[in-house]
Structure formats: structure tokens, C-alpha cells
Amino acid sequence: MESNGTIRIAIQKSGRLSEGSLALLHQMGLEFETYQDRLFARCRNMPIDLIFLRDDDIPEYVQDGVADLGVVGSNVLDERRSEVARLLPLDFGYCSLSIAAPEREAYRSVSDLDGKRIATSYPQMLRRYLKQQGVSVKTVLLKGCVEIAPALKVADAICDLVATGSTLRTNRLRVLDTVSQCQAILIGQKRPTSKKKRDIVERLLIRAKGVQEARKFKYIMFNAPIEALEPIKKLVPGCKSPTVIPLAEPGFIAVHSMVLEEMFWEVVEKIRECGGRDILVSPVEKFIR
């Protein structure tokens, strides 16, 4: 696939990261259609093509220059140590790489698996981890459907990704230990590409960061007595300072600011203690610093 300056972005075709990846790209202002098992989508408003692949193949595609950007789980990168640039952790697609065994077996920890067989698509990470634990096992390398290996008697346990935990439950497996934590990450090429491409990648990165920053904040508006302004400024400092507007009713102000999502309820309770009322909150769609 030779390129004419069009950027190719690789995302997971169907799986844990698909929905989050598509949502991110839409929030970054890319306009495109996709449905069911499409393998490709062309953006209407930017020189960008999306390609839908197995997540495990995405690092190689980016490394080899077939795709310019990709969204993958950090687990895949840690396993393969591909030559790609880790551009931005994306704060979704959280999961863990865990060792799990059949519920009915009496294994209590990984040390009980010494000498047993573990099926996995992550042999390197598993090997490194078990070495630290001083446990030696036989790894059975599988590319997919790892969870059915114990039922097929191909392995005694598995080492695979766990997100919601429903795959394990369906297959009557339970976690014994966790090898590492993972999340989705935006990757790009290490080697230099054309200026035209670099410019688009740079723009996309600013947008992706803007989307991510926005998710951390809420926009908050409320009314308060003017005497409460000083403590309120401390509660909702915003970027520089909150916006303060006098109300038609003398002695009252309206305050507009940003609040970190994780502090939200705490801050709202304190605003109320200061006399703040009629608190309106809305999501922040984009936030470019």
C-alpha cells in the first residue's frame, strides 16, 4: 500500500477497544461511516483512512509504515516490543493480563501451577513474570480463544486479558494472579515521515489530547452571595480564575468555572456550604490548553 500523503489509522476491528477507538476518532472531529465488519473507512473531512485490524497485528502495521497511527492495548506493545512511538495513553480500554484457572480446581496461587501448562497469546510477559515468581511452567501458545484451552484439556490454566471478567465467567475460570495492567494507547511511527504527514499527525495528537483533557473536567455554573467570592475562588480556581458575573438581584453573583471530575462531589458540597445554589453542571466536550 503506497501512500499519497493520506494518513492511515489502524484500530481494532472487533473487540474491547473498538468502541472506545471509534468514539475517540469521532470526538477528534473525524467524519466517517462504518458498520459491521467493514475493513476500511475513508474520512470525509480530512485526508485520513481508517483500517480495521486484529489488535495484535496493529503494532507491526505501524512499525512497517503501513499505518501511520494506531490504537492498541499497551499489553500488545509490552509483549512484542515493537519499534513504534508511544504517543499518548488514552485512558480507556483498561484491563489486566491475568493468570486464571478452572473454578473447580483447587489451585490457590501461581506457585500451585509449577510444572503445569498455561495457554496464552502473551508468552514473553508470562515468562518474565513467572521467572520473578520462581515458577516454571510449559507455555502453550495460542493466537485466540485462549479461554477454552482448559476445557479442551490443552492447558491447565490460561494467561489472558480480563476486562469485564465475563469471558472468564462464561468459561468457569477464576483469576489466580495478575501479571500486568493495561490500557489503550495511541502509537505512531518512530522513523521520520513526510512533512505533510507529520503535520497531520501533529494536529491529530493535539485533538486527541484535547478530547482527553476534556473528559477530566466538568463545567460548573452557580449563583452565590457576593460575600462568598473569596472561598469560592479557592474552591473553583478554573484555569486562571473563575468567571464572575453580577446577577440582576443585588448582592448576588453567578460563577462559571471548571472542576476536576474526580473532585466533583466534594467541591459541590463545599460550594453549597458557602451559600452557592442553583448549581448547573455540563460536560466539557473539548479542552485545548
SS3 118: strand
Q: Which stretch binds Zn ion (CB under 5 A): 38-46, 56-64, 80-88, 257-265?
A: 56-64
| Residue 79 binding ligand PRP, by CB under 6 A | no
Instruction: Scan for cell 471478567, then name that residue.
Output: 165
Smallest distance from the beta carbon of 245 to ligand PRP, in angstroms? Answer: 46
Among 7, 9, 10, 16, binds ligand PRP (CB under 6 A): 16
Of 242, 240, 230, which is closest to residue 274 (Cα–Cα)? 230
Rounded Cα distance, 234 and 242, in Å: 9
Q: Rank residues 136 and 170 by Cβ distance to ligand PRP and give the closer one.
A: 170
The string of DSSP codes covering 176-240 is EEEEEEE-EEEEEESS---HHHHHHHHHHHHHHHHHHHHHTEEEEEEEEEGGGHHHHHHH---SS
Binding mask 133-172 for ligand PRP (x = CB under 6 A): -----------x---------------xxxxxxxx-----
Q: Rank residues 101 and 253 by Cβ distance to ligand PRP and give the closer one.
A: 101
Rounded Cα distance, 95 and 38, in Å: 26
**Strand order through the sheet with 217-225:** 243-246, 252-260, 217-225, 277-283
Smallest distance from the beta carbon of 79 to Zn ion, in angstroms? Answer: 10
| Residue 68 binding Zn ion, by CB under 5 A | no
Q: Rank residues 15 and 231 by Cβ distance to ligand PRP and give the closer one.
A: 15
Q: Rank residues 7 and 22 by Cβ distance to ligand PRP and give the closer one.
A: 22
What would you report as the CA-atom Rg of the chain, rounded to the nearest whole angstrom?
A: 24
Q: Rank residues 6 and 18 by Cβ distance to ligand PRP and give the closer one.
A: 18
Binding mask 49-78 for ligand PRP (x = CB under 6 A): ------xx----------------------
Q: Rank residues 38 and 190 by Cβ distance to ligand PRP and give the closer one.
A: 38
Q: What is the dihedral of CA 147, 148, 150, 154, to 10 degrees?
A: -110
Smallest distance from the beta carbon of 105 to ligand PRP, in angstroms? Answer: 20
Selection from ligand PRP, Zn ion, none that 164 binds (CB < 5 to 8 A by kind) is ligand PRP
| Residue 8 binding ligand PRP, by CB under 6 A | no
229-238: long-range contacts, CB 8 A cutoff, minimum separation 24: 229/253, 231/270, 231/274, 232/271, 232/274, 232/276, 235/267, 235/270, 235/271, 235/274, 236/267, 236/271
Residues of this chain that interact with ligand PRP (CB under 6 A) are: 15-16, 55-56, 144, 160-167
Chain positions contacting Zn ion, by CB under 5 A: 55-56
